[in-house]
Structure 1
Amino acid sequence: SRSDTEVVLRAYLEWGEEFAEHVHGMFAVAIWDSRRRKLVLARDRLGKKPLYYALRGSRLIFASELKALVAHGGVARELDHEALVQYLACEYVPAPGTILRHVRKLPAAHVAVLDDRGFRLRRYWEVPGPSEQRVSAADAASELLRLLDAAVAKRLVADVPVGVFLSGGIDSTSIAALAVRHKKPLQTFSIGFVEESFDESPWAQLAASRLGTEHVSQKFSGQDCLDLIPAAAAQLDEPFADPSFLPTLLLSRFTRRHVTVALAGDGGDELFAGYDPFLAHRPASVFARVPRALRGAVQTMVHLLPASPRNMSLDFRLKQFLRGVDAPPSLRHASWIASFLPAEIAGVLHPELRALASAEVAFRQVLEDAARTGARPGSVDEALRYYLTRYLADDILVKADRASMAASLELRAPYLDTGVVEFAARLPWRLKMSFTRTKVILKRALRGIVPDEILRRPKKGFGIPVAAWIRGPLRPLFEELLSESALRDAGVFDAAAVRSLLRTHLEGRADLRKPLWTLLMFQLWRKHHAQAVSLRSAA
């Protein structure tokens, strides 16, 4: 067959409810079995595609977009107070919850069935844990390269033009380097920013020159992002506070002018311990044993450092490190990337909501994930599982899917090939990181394929200069949506507390880009989607 749908239906006829275990790729599927009067919903292993549902008595209402689902008259529009707390902490609403009380997300790697026996959920796949079988670094690197090359080759198959996102980082450059083996000429795409510390376009150009791709790039400014924010908010069914959604949307729109399908490097950081917090993992355990008085002195000195607007500046990293270092070991990584810590959430909520929204639920899903997987609390393996099963599914893939779909661009992620994921997940963490280096085994596999300058460069991330823009081109928007009147009308946040945060940032006394952006995106979401949402329904 040439039809994906026919193949999926044939799989269902062959294996019934277990069909999803045999399907690989990105999918959200609904199948009505009229012979058995059974409705089956299924979502891909890692959550690349969204699927929302509401169970109302014997009826199951479902859609791939929340706004389509709530258009159904049978779905109540009530704010979920636990989801609000989790959003303020995580910058997204973790599955299976949604921002609306009566709507759920079908979690990744799950099948849902509604029939005469009722409604039931079943997990059909789990990320494997580290293997006890020993493997040499050389053998692991060789097999990883083989699997990744095959994953790239599979995703280049299309009857429409295909290109590659190229930021100049290790992950995207590796995809381009392997793709150019199988497809010439190959177009690559990047965007840059006028602000130098956030601009990766020179690295993307270097990578493209070395690989021999046809590279297309464009630079954007703060005003470009300002113009995009209303459209971006309209694309998001739920409040979502990862600022890199904006450049991802810009890149997707820009790329779609040239190709219909693009390959991206999503997944490399989660599989191979690529994020900066992994370098803080072991120092945090050491710092936690330092006498409290000495720790307090260090914290005081760090907080006296002036706030720098530069991307991942030293003062920003040190302050984020100290914010999470005292958290329970299983919550350190979630705390390091949080906008609000649980102890801070009540202070920004409207007084009438504080009693309805307990801050104790902020990281509940993280703790439940940790308990289910059984990794040692505070271990690197536990942290890797958190990034792969929670942060990837609820942040990175949401960002990638919503931005690319808004531009009618199909985005494919070779690193998230099932074979690559399962192989990487079984590798011991010591092959992935050392005390001072991340992605160790990946870099070894890519020697001679990715330029040495790219392999050696520190991770930068696909960020935008939010801290500086809040004091510059975005200030009017923040002043409008976080004004006392706007906050009072919304009735969700404490106006005095939020205004104090904004004033502190504008005066340069602290870098509060993360909490302020999180508050702004909620206000924008409410403006576009939720004016009629009830805020104070029974919890």
Structure 2
Amino acid sequence: MTDEVWFAALPDGEAGLAAAHVLRPWATRLISHDSGRPWLLGCWPDGHVTVGGAGVGRLAVIGRCPVTAGELSARLSRIRDLADTERAVAGLAGSFHVAASIGGRVRVRGSASAVRRIFHARVVGATVAASRADRLASAIGASPDERFLALQLLSSPPPYPLADRCVWRGVEGLRPEDSLLIEPDGRARAQRWWTPPEPALSLAEGAYGVRGALAAAVETCTADGGTVSSDLSGGMDSTSLCFLAARGTARLVTLRWQGLDPGNDDAIWAGRATAELPGIEHVVPEFSRSPLWFSGLTDLRMTTEEPGAWVRDGARFRALAELMKSRGSRLHMFGGGGDELFTAFAPHLHDYVRSDPLAAFARIRRQRAFQQWPLWPVLRGLADRRTFAQWLAAWADHLTQPPPARAHRAPSVAWGTELRLPPWATPDAVHAVQGLLREAAGAVEPLAPQRGQHAALSHVQGGGRGARQMDQVTSGMGLEYAAPYLDDGVIEAALSVRVAERSAPGRYKPVLATAMRGIVPDTVLARTTKGEFGADFYAGLHRNRTALVELFEDSRLARAGLIDAGAVRASLLGFHPRPDALRSLDPTLGCELWLRSRPDRRAVMSAALTGGAP
């Protein structure tokens, strides 16, 4: 048995029996179709899977959802076939996968936020869906695809549509908005199950829906009683979760890490929040006992299915799990998704100028004066008429160009951020990523017709993938990691608000602040700042520089032909006036440590980069 939580969904036929035989050695749990053949197998804790049955049908909710088996059975009895599956689970709160087996056919899907994902592969001739790509990769003997490892070197996690691609050869990632239908003979096809809401509600209307959805999401975390924990950084996102959780049936423990940066006022705002939460245990470890960024990397084993940029916090995740488990916590909440949902990203200005020019230019004028944006880059961006596909193709040409100097930088109102590859990426790595971008540009539509809503959805799904990896890390240590803002009910409510109203001059996250009024004290909701962590970055780099340099003495990425290890070491030993100068270090570290954590530590081949067979 492994510490990993996973499941696979099998077709209801002879093909499924053969696939089950391959996967069974890794599994400790098994749930059957009505036919008696294996349907769901894997490893999961008690209470993680709830199954209802009616007639010859089975319906499973897998993850965090307080629905009972009886309630699922009643819901299932009201539908006739797989096409009605979403009607059977409509209105359920939480974060979960859905799997159905009706009349010999199977349907499975994850969540719209990408916190829960589905992957699929052909296992001895049958399509098998699974919640973890690496489990399928083990079953079919797959190795990482170097093209997609190169993609992971970008300065931030790859955005849509590249983020949907799987790093393992022979394993396909399903788009979050799609479900997978599997026939008894093992054939399968994708079918859309979710469409983003139209952003048509006013701030007041939308805030009402956000309030109810977020309260329901937090209640799914506290409903089982016992002890739960949460970050209480001082920011509005985690603070709101704590005040909602304090109203539940579970005992609450909060956690705040101390920071070094003198510009970080998190402690002041966290103190105001804790003063309004009497009777709650608040944990604030001494700074001298808190792991610095980049600590413990030589001992870090990455248990995630793909590389991740979270590795600089690896030691802190271990410490978090130990601290909260020692106080009895079974689940830890964090505010991931709050920034993505309640911030109007710059691309919305491109839409705003076209829908309400006078209001848009008034807002741009105020923001230019406050943030000192240069005029001509802003105007050029607003005049840009490229489609999403055209923007992707142009991005491919700019992969290695340095970004504009900060003094001349205006916010991009394009479809997304044109991420860069680091200076230590090899020409082969650059060529691979350019090829993937141009391939994607050949036939792709944006997540939404408007740039602002597309950017919001892309950021939400990026946040969901990050939350998914963090949960894989801490769940392996026995502590579930939950991001209630990224529950589907919350993102539906938040993304229904008009994009331009998600920001307002002089107000910080106005939709969330309005939604939480009366639950979170006004003195706490009044915050308009965000914490700074530059000093923490420098302290961690200074303390762990030698270990970081040594990691690249025998680099797996260099063996694969993806990076110049000497260039990485030179950058680590150089002078960095701003943390931005090493922005690409985190994803490169994530890739390097992920490769070192694979059971087979042999160097990966680079045939895919040079045109070899996949």
TM normalised by structure 2 equals 0.68
The whole-number CA distance in structure 1 between the counterparts of 2:573 and 2:88 is 54
Q: CA deviation at 1:215?
A: 1.4
Q: Distance in 1 between matches of 2:286 and 2:349?
A: 31
* Structure 1 residue 426, shift from structure 2 partner: 1.4
Alignment length, in residue pairs? 491
Secondary structure of 1:239 counterpart = coil
Equivalent position to 2:503, from 433, 444, 455: 433
User: RMSD of the alignment, in Å?
Assistant: 4.0
Equivalent position of 1:330 in the other structure: 415
Write out per-residue CA displacement over residues 134-191 of structure 1, whole angstroms, 9 at most, x where no aligned residue.
64x4454445434433443343210432333322110111121222234486332333
Corresponding residue of 2:151: 85
Partner of 2:284: helix, strand, or coil?
Answer: strand
- TM superposition score normalised by structure 1: 0.76
Which sections of structure 2, spanning at least 5 residues, go unmatched? 1-46, 53-58, 61-72, 351-362, 382-402
Distance 1:257 1:66, change over 3 A: farther
Deviations 1:318-370 (A, max 9, x none): 95696785x67112xx33xx4xx1xx46x533345554x14253598799876
Is the 1:269–1:275 contact (alpha carbons within 8 Å) kept by the matching residues of 2? no
CA contact (8 A) 2:119 2:174 kept: yes
Shift in alpha-carbon separation, 1:67–1:321, aligned structure 2, 3 A: farther
CA gap of 1:90–1:429, structure 2 versus 1, over 3 A, is same
Evaluate the alpha carbon distance shift between residue 279 and residue 517 of structure 1 in structure 2; reply closer, same or farther with a 3 A threshold.
farther
Q: For residues 3-25 of structure 1, give each alpha carbon's deviation from its aligned partner in whole angstroms, at most 9, with x where no partner exists.
A: 84223344667454342454343
| Correspondence for 1:127 | 196
User: 1:171, 1:268 within 8 Å by CA — same for their partners in 2?
Assistant: yes
Q: In the TM superposition, what is the alpha-carbon distance from 1:197 to its structure 2 partner? A: 5.1
| 2:449 aligns with one of 364, 374, 390 | 374
Between the aligned residues of both structures, percent identity stands at 24
Is the 1:45–1:109 Cα contact (8 Å) retained in structure 2? yes
Q: Which residue of 2 aligns with 1:270?
A: 340
Cα distance, 1:496 vs structure 2: 4.5
3-state SS of paired residue (2:51): helix
Say whether the 8 Å CA contact 1:52–1:66 is kept in structure 2. yes
Task: Supply the distance in 1 between the matched residues of 2:442 and 2:408 (Cα, whole angstroms).
Answer: 21
- In structure 1, which of residues 435, 447, 455 is the aligned counterpart of residue 525 of structure 2? 455
Moved more, 47-56 or 193-202: 193-202
Partner of residue 478 from structure 1, selected from 548, 553, 574: 548
2:377 aligned to which of 253, 276, 288: 288
Return the alpha-carbon distance in structure 2 between the equivalents of residues 366 and 402 of structure 1: 31
SS class of match (1:173):
helix
> Which of 581, 585, 607 is the equivalent residue of 1:536?
607
Matched, 1:384 2:384: no
Kindly provide the CA deviation profile for residues 281-319 of structure 1, in whole angstroms up to 9, marking residues without a partner as x. Answer: 955694515799xxxxxxxxxxxxxxxxxxxxxxxx995
- d(CA) in 2 for partners of 1:75, 1:462: 44
CA distance in 2, matches of 1:425, 1:211: 30
Matched residue SS, 2:165: coil
Partner residue of 2:235? 169
- The structure showing larger relative contact order (alpha-carbon pairs under 8 Å, at least 6 residues apart) is 1
1:186 maps to what in 2? 252
1:483-526 CA-to-partner distances (Å, cap 9, x unmatched) read 477764453212354344334346x5874221122222211111
Letter in 1 for 2:479: L
Q: 1:39 to 1:149 in 2, by over 3 A?
A: closer
1:467-506 superposed matches below 5 A:
467-469=537-539, 471-483=541-553, 488-505=558-575
Alignment match, 1:405: 475
* Residue identity opposite 1:288 in structure 2: P
In structure 1, the gaps of 5 or more residues are 293-316
| CA gap 1:235/1:449 in 2 versus in 1, 3 angstroms | same
Tell me the residue number matched to 2:113: 46
Distance 1:273 1:368, change over 3 A: farther
Deviates more, 1:364-373 or 1:252-261: 364-373
Report Cα offsets for 1:42-64 as digits up to 9, x if no partner.
21232223433323573234543
Q: How big is each residue's C-alpha offset from its partner over 1:437-461, in whole Å with a ceiling of 9 and x where there is no partner?
A: 4411222333353344533334536
Counterpart among 151, 174, 178 of residue 106 in structure 1: 174
Q: Indicate which of 17, 35, 38 corresponds to 2:82.
A: 17
- Listed one character per residue, the Cα deviations across residues 230-254 of structure 1 (whole Å, up to 9, x for unaligned) are 5654222211114575445543442
The 2-side partners of 1:21 and 1:66 are apart by: 28
Provide Cα deviations, 1:417-450, integer angstroms capped at 9, x if missing partner.
Answer: 4443222211112321024544112223333533
2:464 corresponds to 1:393: yes
Q: Alpha-carbon deviations, 1:101-120, whole Å to 9, x = none?
A: 32222332432123248220
| Amino acid paired to 2:414 | P
Q: Which amino acid is the alignment partner of residue 426 of structure 2? A: H
AA in 1 matched with 2:256:
S
Deviation at 1:413, TM superposition (A): 3.7
